[in-house]
Chain A
């Protein structure tokens, strides 16, 4: 039993070093998406050293970055894509739009706040947040993910 426990713990410690990131654009203005892409792509804020990898498919994802205020038009698609992501997963809301609606709050065309529909774990406010802030949010998400994997 203790051997099994030790094995599980060490497997968890190894697995937590490979969080793959998937981005969902829930009707964002693209500002936060640009910052997310910056975080991933430019050498200055290399997230790959945390083991993160941007993946193209929701089925490969561990950490989900949601941007945008969940517009009425895209709501059903976002919920469908989110359901495709296998557990365990951690959700990060990037920018003020998914958190509260931001500048679009109380508009007839948006369904913000996103956490009414999806289990959000970490919020990163900003319009858009700077890349370091996104990395900080991802680091907090990894800490949460450690308990789930």
Chain B
């Protein structure tokens, strides 16, 4: 039970590490391709995010004169490492259960906050005014969406009586997935509003808005450092979508078929929740996004917590 020898393997190779990175990049490529098709364009090849990474690895990293260099270069590294760990924490139902030594849902919640924090640090360390604007926007948005996330997770934990993702999956496998449980629907809706914001796509990409604040915190990054941010964002997609699958719809067969079903669920979540939303909406203003999150997802998650506590 407390065998720690598989942890490095889990972090670096299979559920986290290379596998999650490759799948995250493929998800991003699929997202760009399908978005192009929805807009009537041909779009880039599926491996485009991978080409981008190789390209960035061959470019120079420039550090602005006024930047705090150790923080500026350390921030993307911290973000990527935290997402690698988080990817090893997300279970794949029927295939992989994280080692309890590595952590549980609470650790995952903390790790999920790291990319946003890292972006804030990066934005302020770069010394650019656009980075500072990105910093403040990222902060406001994070305050807005972290509340509903914590309440959703609390509702699920209250329902199952455990903060361990393995227990949550086991509960749903005996009692039926929360996707079909009306008691959990408010929490599900709140989560559906949360994950586009966490992934930073169009209606909620206010901190990185390239037409307004020139990609905000990422403005001053170039070369391999920017590549690390791209890796972090690809890993984050896998982690957040995997968390959604684990929390609400973990039904899957064992073995290789289970892995395929899991990946298919992630692809569907990406296409519906991210691509379709991204191409069909314009960007919100930060005050609109802030009041939206403090109104609907927060209300829904509070409601779900109340229902679960009463049920």
Direct A–B touching, Cβ under 8 Å: yes
Are A46 and B36 CB-contacts (below 8 A) given A15-B58, A59-B62, A86-B60? yes
A-chain residues with CB within 8 Å of residue B211 when the two chains form the complex? 56
B residues in contact with A51, CB < 8 Å: 44-45, 48, 51-52
Measured CB to CB, the closest approach of chain A to B60, in angstroms, equals: 4
Asked if B215 and A49 make an inter-chain contact with CB atoms under 8 angstroms apart, the answer reads no
Q: Give, as a whole number of angstroms, the nearest-CB distance from B228 to chain A.
A: 14
Set of chain B residues within 8 Å of A56, measured between Cβ atoms: 210-211, 214-215, 219
Taking a contact as CB atoms under 8 Å apart, the answer to whether A57 and B214 are in contact is: yes
- Kindly report which residue of chain B lies nearest to residue A45, judged by CB atoms: B41
Note all chain A residues with C-beta closer than 8 A to B32: 48
Q: Mark A83-101, 1 if CB is under 8 A from B, else 0.
A: 0101110000000000000
* Complex Cα gap A87–B62 (Å): 10
Give the interface size bracket for B toward A. Answer: 20 to 34
Cβ of B147 within 8 Å of any chain A Cβ, yes or no, is no
Nearest Cβ on chain A to B248's Cβ, whole angstroms:
33
By a CB distance below 8 angstroms, the chain B residues around A49 are 36, 41-45
Taking a contact as CB atoms under 8 Å apart, the answer to whether B54 and A11 are in contact is: yes
Chain B positions 191-211 with a Cβ under 8 Å from a chain A Cβ:
210-211
Knowing A48-B36, A56-B211, A60-B215 are in contact, say whether A86-B41 is a contact too (CB < 8 A).
no
CB of A48 within 8 A of CB of B41, answer yes
Whether A17 sits at the interface, judged by CB under 8 Å, is yes
B41→A59 contact, CB < 8 A:
no
Provide the bound-state CA to CA distance between A87 and B214, in Å. Answer: 20
Query: In the complex, what distance in Å separates the CA atom of A48 from the CA atom of B210?
Result: 17
Residues from chain A with a CB closer than 8 A to the CB of B39 are 43
A55 adjacent to chain B (CB < 8 Å): yes
Which A residues are in CB contact (< 8 Å) with B293? none
- The answer, yes or no, to whether A62 is at the interface (CB within 8 Å) is yes
Contact with B along A59-76 (1 / 0, CB 8 A): 110100000000000000
Closest beta carbon of chain B to A138's beta carbon, Å? 14
Q: Is A149 an interface residue (CB 8 A)?
A: yes
Interface pair A86/B54, CB less than 8 Å apart: no
* B21 → chain A closest CB, angstroms: 15
For B220, what are the chain A residues with a Cβ–Cβ distance below 8 Å? 57, 59
Closest 10 CB pairs of A and B: A56-B210, A59-B222, A46-B41, A43-B40, A15-B55, A18-B55, A56-B214, A18-B51, A86-B60, A14-B54
Q: List 7 A-B contacts (CB under 8 A).
A: A15-B55, A43-B40, A49-B43, A51-B51, A55-B215, A56-B210, A57-B215
